[in-house]
Structure 1
Amino acid sequence: MSTTQTRQHSQGERPDDTGAFAWLRGLGPRGRRAFGGAFGGYALDSYDFFTLPLSMVAIAASFGLDKGRTGLLTTVTLVVSAVGGALAGVLADRVGRVKALMITVVTYALFTVLCGFAPNYETLLVFRALQGLGFGGEWAVGAILVAEYASAKHRGRTLGAVQSAWAAGWALAVLVYTLVFQWAEADLAWRILFWTGALPALLVVYVRRNVEDAPQAAEARRAGAGRGSFRAVFRPGLLRTTLFAILLSTGVQGGYYTLATWVPTFLKTERGLTVVGTGGYLTLLISGAFTGYLTGGYLTDRLGRKKNIVLFAVLSAVSVLAYTHLPAGANTLLLLLGFPLGFCMSAIFSGFGSFLAELYPTAVRGTGQGLTYNTGRAVGAVFPTLVGFLAESWGVGGALVFGAAGYGLAVLALLGLPETRGRELV
């Protein structure tokens, strides 16, 4: 029996299972519990992240901030997340995926809550930076945990399903934001929204009791191979992969976080929408994102990792240009374009979990994925701040076009990376 067949048999995967949820059944009981933990962690990671973009107008009013300093709150979160993500990746290789996952969740939940108690802008900036330590590590650790349970055949759609948790958390944040800002005055409402970031504590209880590392990862760590280090992913055999993976992540995340940070402000300040109106527009954007994650996961298995990224990089750039250049008063069309915008800019991420995991061997997989994804996030984080400063003269809508340039950078980065579809994790 081949290694692949043995692995499929041990996880309960049937080669003849071609149903819509074959990817989920193929994970086996332990893999499905790991999927639940990673999905919940990423959903709540998203929820805690979006407490800031949704509250930015109220925070700016409370502390008298200009757009540049407001944008800096997002940038510092993403820059520090690079440190948190890289450290979490090494931690995942050294102490295990599950322990690292719990540490990241507790970290981002704690500092999100503390943001709600910030007495001034400087304190909020510090707490938001520390929140980034946990925020940066959760996705990489959770994605690796699930990737090591998934088969090569279904890994793209399995990780795409994990990625869809981002849209679920975003939707929950918008719902809670809408309710809280209708119930309380803005000066208090943004603080309440941050306090609800304590929710992830419940997930940690589930993960601690039910989730464990995939056997091959646990075995590698016991054998002494799981000693991830930053030096290891920059050695000659992996240097090229690491550099181009960072460039890829920078382009995609620079485009994405520009939109995620500034679209709510764009809808309020340049389209004059109310809280409920903004929530309505974001509903289509988030619905498109959820559908995009699932569709992108399917296509990354069908087309390959690189083709999926190229396809949606082009479509995302076109969507940004269309979304931000509609004439004033065309709010109905703006509403309709929200769905394809969310769809395209999310579908491009669906292959990341599988692609980055497949680029690295088990012993340094956490380090490689955590470092490349989060370094790209940190460099891409410069985009929202630049948009904040450019918005003073260009307007938010005009400045958002800058985010589209990131997708062109992502396509160029693919020239230096191999196609990994069908690759077994070893």
Structure 2
Amino acid sequence: MSTTQAPEVHGRQPDDTGAFGWLRALGPRGRRAFGGAFGGYALDSYDYFTLPLSMVAISAYFSLDNGQTGLLTTVTLVVSAIGGALAGILADRIGRVKALMITVITYAVFTVLCGFAPNYETLLVFRALQGLGFGGEWAVGAILVAEYASAKHRGRTLGAVQSAWAAGWALAVVVYTLVFHFLDPDTAWRVMFWTGALPALLVVYVRRNVSDAPHAEELRRTSAERGSFTAVFRKDLLRVTLFATLLSTGVQGGYYTLATWVPTYLKTERGLTVVGTGGYLAFLISGAFIGYLTGGYLTDRIGRKNNIALFAALSAAGILAYTSIPSGANGLLLVLGFPLGFCMSAIFSGFGSYLSELYPAAVRGTGQGFTYNSGRAVGAFLPTLVGFLSDSWGVGGALVLGAAGYGLAALALVGLPETRGKELM
């Protein structure tokens, strides 16, 4: 049965070909949902990056080696798999909006508690628990918006949601630059975590203004099937689930290797100051923001699989180029930050639409939550491996492992169908 939503229900304008036609086509309720999902993902990103930006200070404060430091990221991402899968099931059982609010509250509370950690072990536990909310927010928010979006505009719409990650990353870098400039490092890293309380304001907005897409909500309520772990491993979905998880593992392994270790690489091996690191990251983040928007456009034009394959190859090449720049050529490092950020973000733009289109409404939350976050959990071991190898290879040398992740992603596409133009069922 087709679940195409009629234009008059959500104010869609399928023939609107303007630059922001995808946004107008959502209608008033869809645009409010977009605002909630965009804000949630931006603040999710902000809370995540409080750790990578503060890692040098945290490492010095608790006298950690690189392996222990990398483990802080790994536990966040591993536990995010549990959080993402649970949030997906909640989204299928209690609705997208309610699940979204639960995830935002969870990651905000535990990010703030990280700032009060008296020792490494406590910080490790709080960071792991932060992963419960961090893992679920994107999957739930992406599904919420996908169910408002038309097939024609879905890639661009979800690419725009994905761009919120760069917005949150940029905000984190600005706050980091100010906090670490005016406060001593032992205090500054705690203040960074305390600013993670910001998402609480978003929950108020979502509760008052955002609702699930009516037609998709009706399908979810009336379906005899309910989200569960076993549902996404049934015979007709098993292949999709396995290869989508493999795809997510490769892309996120490559991405989080860079996101976690580039700030440390810039400080320890390139000798940049706090302000200098912020400047270099600005180029990386600017490229990321434009990459999300461009990738969203391309995934609608050339297809989900072609978009991912293209930017997997370009991202792997970018990593190799970025880490091969000779000492003293920091100007070239600055220039290459933009295309590297562009490519490693453009590959994500199709994820929200692609994973949503691979699963039916009754298990869409579970399928997207499980595959995206299980891949993130497995891929999370790459940042830890980089941490351990960096003692002998150097951070720059170990970062090339991220390129292997993108190769795995390209391989996974062989087992998945193309879904461009598919109506949600």
Q: TM-score interval w.r.t. the shorter chain? A: over 0.9
Residue number in structure 2 paired with 1:42: 41
Alpha-carbon distance change, 251 to 305 in structure 1, aligned in 2, over 3 angstroms: same
Indicate how the Cα distance of structure 1 residues 31 and 68 shifts in structure 2: closer, same or farther if over 3 A, else same. Answer: same
Partners of 1:45 and 1:216 lie apart in 2 by 28
Quick check: 1:366 aligned with 2:365? yes
Where does the alignment leave 5 or more consecutive residues of structure 2 unmatched?
Answer: none
Matched, 1:111 2:114: no
Q: 1:250 to 1:343 in 2, by over 3 A?
A: same
> Distance between the aligned counterparts of 1:6 and 1:149, measured in 2?
8
Name the CA distance, whole Å, in 1 between partners of 2:37 and 2:153: 17
Kindly report which structure 2 residues correspond to 1:138-157, keeping only aligned pairs within 5 A, or say none.
138-157=137-156
1:70 maps to: 69
* 1:218 matched residue in structure 2: 217
Residue deviations 1:51-92 (CA, integer Å, cap 9, x gap):
000000000000000000000000000000000000000000
SS at match of 2:400: helix
Distance in 2, Cα, partners of 1:5 & 1:263: 43
TM-score with structure 2 length normalisation?
A: 0.99
CA contact (8 A) 1:94 1:226 kept: no
CA drift of 1:13 comes to 1.8
Find the aligned partners of 2:131 and 2:189 in 1 and give their Cα distance.
18
Match of 1:30 in 2: 29
Which segments of 5 or more consecutive residues in structure 1 lack a partner in the other structure?
A: none
Give the CA deviation at 1:227.
1.4
Partner of 2:266: 267
Structure 2 counterpart of 1:74, one-letter code: T
Mapped partners of 1:340, 1:6: distance in 2? 38
User: Which residue identity lines up with residue 392 of structure 2 in the other structure?
Assistant: S
Q: Distance in 2 between matches of 1:226 and 1:201?
A: 33
| Residue 232 (structure 2) aligns with | 233
Bigger Cα displacement from structure 2, 3-12 vs 311-320: 3-12
Q: SS at the partner of 1:236?
A: coil
Backbone CA RMSD of aligned residues = 1.1
Give 2:220's aligned amino acid. Answer: R
User: Aligned-pair distance for 1:223?
Assistant: 1.4
**TM-score in terms of structure 1 length:** 0.99
Which amino acid in the other structure matches residue 290 of structure 2? T
Deviation by residue 1:297-344 (Cα, 9 ceiling, x = unmatched): 000000000000000000000000000011000000000000000000
1:220 shift after superposition? 2.1
**Match for residue 185 of structure 2?**
186
Return closer, same or farther for 1:415/1:186 CA change in 2, 3 Å cut-off: same
Q: Distance in 2 between matches of 1:225 and 1:367?
A: 15
Q: Contact (CA 8 Å) 1:226, 1:362: kept in 2 or not?
A: no
Distance (Å, rounded) in 1 between the aligned partners of 2:391 and 2:224: 52
Tell me, in whole angstroms, the C-alpha distance in 2 between the residues paired with 1:141 and 1:352: 13
Quote the residue 1:307 is aligned against: 306
Is it true that 1:8 corresponds to 2:7 in the alignment? yes
Name the SS of the counterpart of 2:257 in structure 1.
Answer: helix
**Equivalent pair of 1:220/1:226 in contact (CA under 8 Å):** no
Structure 1 vs Structure 2: percent identity of aligned residues? 82
Q: Identify if the C-alpha distance between structure 1 residues 6 and 166 changes in structure 2 by more than 3 Å, giving closer, same or farther.
A: closer
The 2-side partners of 1:71 and 1:8 are apart by: 48
The question of whether the paired residues in 1 share the 8 Å contact of 2:220 and 2:361 is answered with: no
Q: What amino acid is aligned across from residue 289 of structure 2 in structure 1?
A: F
Partner of 1:134: 133
Match of 2:339 in 1: 340
* CA contact 1:246–1:373 (8 Å) conserved in 2: yes
Q: Contact (CA 8 Å) 2:2, 2:423: kept in 1 or not?
A: no
Number of aligned residues: 425
* AA in 2 matched with 1:70: T
